[in-house]
Amino acid sequence: MMPFYQLAIALADSGLHVSYISTPKNTHRLPKPPQNLSPNISFVSLPLPVLDSSPLPEGTEATVDLISDEQVPYLFKAFDLLQKPLEKFVVEHSPDWLIIDLFTPWATDVGKDCGVPVLVFSPFSAATCLFWGPPEYLTGDGQKRVRSSLESLTSPPEWVTFPSSVAYHNFEAAGTLNGLYGDDASGISPVKRFAKTINASQAIAIRHSRELGGEYLSLYAKLIGKPAIPAGLLPPEKPKERQITDESWTRTFKWLDQQEPRSVLFVGFGSECKLSREQVHEIAYGLEESELPFLWALRKPHWAKDDVDHVLPPGFAERRTFDHKQKVCFGWAPQMEILAHPSIGGSLFHAGWGSAIEALQFGHCLVVLPFLVDQGLNARFLVEKGLAFEVERGDDGSFERSDIARALRGAMVGKEGEGMRARSRDVAAVVGDREIHEGYIAGLVEFLKSRIN
C-alpha cells in the first residue's frame, strides 16, 4: 500500500492527474496528506465485498488485519470481487493508464475490456523479481516450470548469468514452495497471479534503481521481453522537523537527544511479522547481551495479554528501567523521525524492502532477520552489496540470543563491520538524493505519455 501511495504522489507531483484507488480502511491508513499535497491527486474508495461464509476477521482489508497466514487467500478472493466496481470507475472516468499491482490479474481484464493500457508496479526489489523469474517460469505449466522442488529455491536460478547470492535458505524454501507456488483457497497461486498480470500488461515498473543493483534490473528486462522501468527507490521524504505531540514519544525523543551520535540501534519488525513468544524473548535477550544502546518499537503480539508486561521476558522491563541506554516502546512508532535522529546508527529489522530503503537513506548499518515472502531474498541482496549483516540461524530457522548479539556488535561496533558502515554512508548519498529519484519518475512519466493514443 505505501509504495503505491509514494508512487502516486510522485506521479502527481510530476504533473499527471492521478486517482489513487483503494478500500476505505486502507485509504484511511495512508499518512495524513500534507497541506501542500498536489491538487493533481484524488483518493477513491471502493468498499471491499464481503465473502459468503467469510473466515476473515470483521473489518479486514489488508494482511495486517489478519490473524494467520492461512487467511491470506480469502483476502485475495475478496479483492477479486472488486473487478466490477473498478470497471465501472474506468468506464466513467476513461483514464489513460491503469497502474496495478502484481496480485490483481483481473485488473488486466478491466484494462483490456475498456481499451485502457495497463502498467504493473512491483513494490519488490529487482533482485526478488529476477529470482522469481519471468512469467513463463511462474505459471507451473508444461516444461518451463523450475520451481518443483525445495532445491530449486535454495540457489540462484539458471537464468541469472552473473554471480549472485540471492536465494532462499532451506528453512524458508518449504513455506515459499507451498505459499507462493501452490494453488490456494482463492483458486490461483500467487505466482500465477504475478504471471498473468505481467503477461497482460504493457510494461512493468519496479521499485529499484540502477545505482543499487542495476545488473538485476537489466537482466530482468531482457528476460520478460517488455519494458521494465525502474521507478527509483521511492524513499519517503525525510522529516524537515520533528512533529511529535504524543507525550510518551516526546519523552522518548528527549531520551534519544541524550545519546551519543550514531550509537543507538533501532529495532522494529513492522506490522506484518507475527513473532512468536520464543522469538520475542530471544530477540530481547540478544539485545541485552549485545550491551548496545537500543530503542525497540515493539507491537503487541497476537498471543499476548492486554498487559504489555507479559510480552517481554520476566524481569526484562525492570532491568531496563534502571538502564538509561536501552528502551522499549509499545505500539505505533514514528519510524521516519526515529531513523532521522542523529543518535541512531543502525537497525535490526525484517529486511522488508521499504524499511531497508528508509534506513539506507540515513546511512544506517543494517542487521537483518527475515521472516516473510521476499524478506529472505532482500536480506541476501543487502548482504551481497555489503550493506547488511544477517543473523545466523539453524536449519529450522531458529535463532538464539547469542546469534542476535554477535550480529549486532559486529555491525555496530566490530572491526568486521567497518567496511559495511563506510559502504552504508556512501550509499546514503545516493538513496537520499531526491534528484536521482525524480529522474526515474521523469523517465516513467515520459514512457506513459509516449504510449497514450
* Percent of the chain predicted with pLDDT > 70: 94
- H/E stretch holding 297 reads strand 294-298
Average pLDDT of the chain, as a whole number: 89
**Residue 310 predicted with pLDDT over 80:** no
Residue 406 confidence (pLDDT): 97
| Distance between CA atoms of residues 265 and 345, nearest Å | 6
| Closest by Cα among 75, 59, 62 to 30 | 62
Q: Is it the case that residue 142 has pLDDT exceeding 50?
A: no
Note the pLDDT tens digit of each residue in 407-449: 999 999 999 999 999 999 999 999 989 999 999 999 999 999 9
Phi, psi (degrees; rounded to nearest 5) at 45:
-105, 125
pLDDT at 214 over 70: yes
**pLDDT score at 40:** 93
Residue 140 has pLDDT above 60, yes or no: no
pLDDT digits (tens, 9 = 90+) for 48-75: 998 887 788 888 888 888 877 788 888 8
pLDDT tens, residue by residue, 245-302: 778 888 999 999 999 999 999 999 987 788 889 999 999 999 999 999 999 999 877 7
Q: What pLDDT is recorded for position 309?
A: 62
Instruction: Sort strands 388-390 and 365-368 into parallel, antiparallel or unpaired.
Output: parallel
Dihedral pair phi/psi, residue 18, rounded to 5°? -120, 130
In percent, the amount of the chain with pLDDT more than 90 equals 64
Q: Using 50, 70 and 90 to split pLDDT, how confident is the model at 322?
A: very low
129/353 Cα distance (integer angstroms): 12
Cα 311 off chain centre by: 25
Q: Pick the residue with more confidence: 66 or 40?
A: 40
The mean pLDDT of 337-360, rounded to a whole number, is: 96
Segment 98-124 mean pLDDT:
95
pLDDT value, residue 307: 54
Does this model's pTM top 0.85? My answer is yes
With a cut of 60, say whether residue 374 has pLDDT above it.
yes
Take residue 110 and report the three cell numbers written for it: 478491466
